[in-house]
Copies of this chain bind each other. A is one copy, B any other.
Amino acid sequence: MFTKLHLEEDNPVPLYWQIFQQLRAAILQGDLLPGSRLPPSRQLAQELQAARVTVTQAYDQLQAEGYVVARTGAGTFVTDDLSLITQSTRETRFVPSLSAWGCRVMDAAAEDERPYPRPQIDFGFGRSFPHIFPYDIWRRLLARYLSTDDVMLSRYGSVAGFHPLRQALAEHLSRLRGVHCTPEQIVIVSGAQQALDILARLLLASDDEVLVETPGYAAAFRLFQIHGARVTAVPVDAHGFPVEQIPANSRAKLIFVTPSNQFPSGGTMPLARRLALLHWAGEHDAVIVEDDYDGELRYDEHPHGALQGLDENGRVVYLGTFSKVLFPALRLSYVVLPPALIEPFVRAKALVDRGAPTLTQAAVADFISEGHFERHLRQLRHAYGQRRQKLIAALEQYLPQQVCCSEEAAGLHVMLHLRPHLDESQVVREAAAAGVGVYPGAPYHLHQPAPPSILLGFSGLDETEIEEGIRRLASVYESSQNESVITTSNEFDV
């Protein structure tokens, strides 16, 4: 009669829906012509060995969606006034033409995927140590807000964030980081990237200049470049961003810095540089974005307060995150805005993303205000401080005088500067072959080629793993070094 229908009894899709889908496809593909008559439902049911009601349901659905019309006494007919998709269009695969921004997104190098399978000993950074986090407390706090009596969850939250969380944060940041702010200056975001994206869109016209540190936070370079900004990178030294090295002709509108612990090379900006940076920004009418991504993870006695606390003009935007101190999958960060940027930022955020889940925010607010956060931070500092010491000790034992790294007792990783003639990607490859995951420094440099370095995160490993990992790295390192010496002499021979 017409296209054969194939029904599958054990398919979770109900039989009537299978009939509907196949008839619909036949109509759309022109196998059932406009105006043609469908077989009577009784007859089709017999052919298919299905109940008549099953066929009737399928016909009803076809009729409801306009594929067929039922004429009383005459039967069911394929609708004949449909301007069907022609065969020619059907076979074209649509290829979108992207905007300039879209093209830049596609041209930019994609972020490195972590090696898979995961190495036995993984010095990946930004990982947290799951056993330290007090999941029992966290679960209790979440459960508190999950009762059916609470209508909070059933409404959209505030765009700027859950107010009790912003209050708790204002108090916390003032005490621990010397940040001066009111809760109204704080906006909860999904991550530093979202904050930087909104700031770039608000503040930077195409071709405006941005100053960044190199090595630095590569995702920020990419974001500013894709936005269309000109990115000027100033190479950092052991004391972070060297304000005196800013090119004299710079007209930067935005400066992105990590004053507390330069990312990724380590190092703290001293007071004189901080004041000089504020002065430079004042003279050039620039906004400073301070990324205090691990400001709470200092293992020395007298951590520097935030640059934001020195700002008297309201030109510093402060970024902080819970990803490193609670857990990454939480996806909660925050931005402390100078008064003049609050309204633009909140309006922009409302336009592109209404806000973070209320439940998580409420639980974090309680986690802070009930003292769990500070207790957790003390435990983290203790645990990570010990791991960092172990890592430094292992480096001194197994790789003495071969490498150097920042002395800053902070953060979740160490950047190891390799001897200039070494090939960092070779070290990374050979370490991986030895079951040790270490990460190349090159992607963090805006200028290539960059001096060779590798990054060693220590927050996801215990002390035994750290020692064993560095022991293996050292043997890889020795052999790399020997090979490259040989290579060099070979080159001389040629």
Q: How many copies are assembled? A: 2
Q: Which of A60, A61, A85 has the most CB of B within 10 A?
A: A85
Bound-state CA distance A282–B136 (Å) is: 55
Please give, as numbers and ranges, the residues of chain B lying within 8 Å of A85 by CB-CB distance. Answer: 275, 278-279, 282, 310, 312
A464 CB-CB contact with B under 8 Å: no
Residue of B nearest to A314 (CB): B94
A214 CB-CB contact with B under 8 Å: no
Closest chain B CB from A488 CB (angstroms):
39
Please give, as numbers and ranges, the residues of chain B lying within 8 Å of A142 by CB-CB distance. Answer: 142, 146
Task: Knowing A60-B302, A93-B340 are in contact, say whether A353-B203 is a contact too (CB < 8 A).
Answer: no
Partner of A313, one of B81, B93, B101, B175: B93
CB contact list, A306-338 vs B, under 8 A? 310, 312-315, 323, 327-331, 338
Please give, as numbers and ranges, the residues of chain B lying within 8 Å of A151 by CB-CB distance. Answer: 130
Partner of A344, one of B106, B156, B341: B106
The reply to whether A153 and B327 contact each other, CB–CB distance below 8 Å, is yes
A272 CB-CB contact with B under 8 Å: yes
The reply to whether B313 and A354 contact each other, CB–CB distance below 8 Å, is no
Bound-state CA distance A148–B132 (Å) is: 9
Number of A residues near B (Cβ < 8 Å) is 123
Please give, as numbers and ranges, the residues of chain B lying within 8 Å of A65 by CB-CB distance. Answer: 271, 302, 304-305
A489 CB-CB contact with B under 8 Å: no
A147 CB-CB contact with B under 8 Å: yes
Residue of B nearest to A94 (CB): B315
A451 CB-CB contact with B under 8 Å: no
The reply to whether B314 and A197 contact each other, CB–CB distance below 8 Å, is no
A72 CB-CB contact with B under 8 Å: no
Bound-state CA distance A222–B354 (Å) is: 14
Residue of B nearest to A360 (CB): B357
> Which listed segment binds B: A187-195, A403-411, A414-422, A428-436?
A187-195
Please give, as numbers and ranges, the residues of chain B lying within 8 Å of A351 by CB-CB distance. Answer: 105, 108, 193, 197, 219, 222-223, 226
**Shortest Cβ-Cβ A-B pairs, 6 listed:** A66-B271, A64-B302, A329-B358, A102-B202, A94-B315, A130-B154
Apart from the given pairs A86-B279, A95-B340, A105-B348, 11 other A-B contacts in the complex at a CB distance below 8 Å? A64-B301, A81-B272, A83-B279, A99-B205, A136-B148, A154-B327, A157-B328, A194-B353, A219-B351, A223-B352, A329-B358
